[in-house]
Amino acid sequence: MPEMSYILLQQEQGDLLFVEMPASHAYQLSALNLRLHKELSKLTADNVPKLPRAIAEFRALDLLDENQSPIGGLHYVNELERTFASIRESAYPLVSLLTEIRALQAQLEQWYEEEDML
């Protein structure tokens, strides 16, 4: 089994999300999350998403609450791409953010294919 890492995300209302990522790509999701947060305030669209904030990255996850489970990294990035692709933005070059999201999406797809985990 390949080595996995987890990104802990906190939603605005305080709920926590655990995203399981290949260890080799976890930092990219954390960095992408920080960049997206930095750029969100510049968007002028009426449908700017509420994005959870990355607050921790770690290698092992032992969830004690059986109602919690990690979200797969590719699933999370696919949802992130759909969310940002649906933003109706005219004043900010949203394509640069989408390009970063899609680059990570493509890397994850390739990683999962190579690991035969799709």
Order of all β-strands in the sheet with 16-22? 53-58, 4-10, 16-22, 71-72
Closest by CA position to 87, among listed 51, 44, 53 = 44
Convert the pLDDT of each residue in 103-118 to its tens digit. Answer: 999 999 999 998 876 5
From CA 44, how far away is CA 34, in angstroms rounded? 19
Convert the pLDDT of each residue in 46-74 to its tens digit. Answer: 888 899 999 999 999 999 988 889 999 99
